[in-house]
Amino acid sequence: MIIANKWKRFAMMSLLSDWDGEAAEIFDKITAAETDAQAEALFEEYQVDIWQPLEWREPLEMAEMILNLAHNAQQVENDK
């Protein structure tokens, strides 16, 4: 399923407090990460800050949560 940029931004804004760069581009990169090390390197590169209640989660887990939220939002829009 292709996820619209608005849902990528929505998911990023819902789970992250800040980042440096364009949300959809960062979304694509972090959700493509296959290891915690890759995700962590991207979080550092783009200065990603996770919302405080979620900050204990590993970067790859956060990437999966972001992808799931965006996917679900896109699915709801597609089911209209």
Of 29, 25, 23, the closest CA to residue 11 belongs to: 23
Residue 48 lies in domain: 8-75
Instruction: Examine residue 3 and state whether it is found in any structural domain, yes or no.
Output: no
Q: Tally Cβ neighbours within 10 Å of residue 27.
A: 24
Within a domain: residue 64? yes
Percentage with pLDDT > 70 across the chain: 100
In a domain, 59, yes or no: yes
Please check whether residue 53 lies inside any domain of the structure.
yes
Residue 2 in domain: no
Mean pLDDT over each residue of the chain, to the nearest integer: 96
Q: At residue 80, does pLDDT exceed 80? A: no
How many Cα atoms sit within 13 Å of 60 on the Cβ side? 7
Output the pLDDT for position 28: 98
d(CA 58, CA 62): 6
17: phi then psi, degrees, rounded to nearest 5: -90, -25
Report pLDDT for 34: 96
52 lies in some domain = yes
CB 8 within 8 A of CB 30: no
The DSSP output letter for 2 is: P
Total domains present in the chain: 1
80 assigned to some structural domain: no
pTM: 0.93
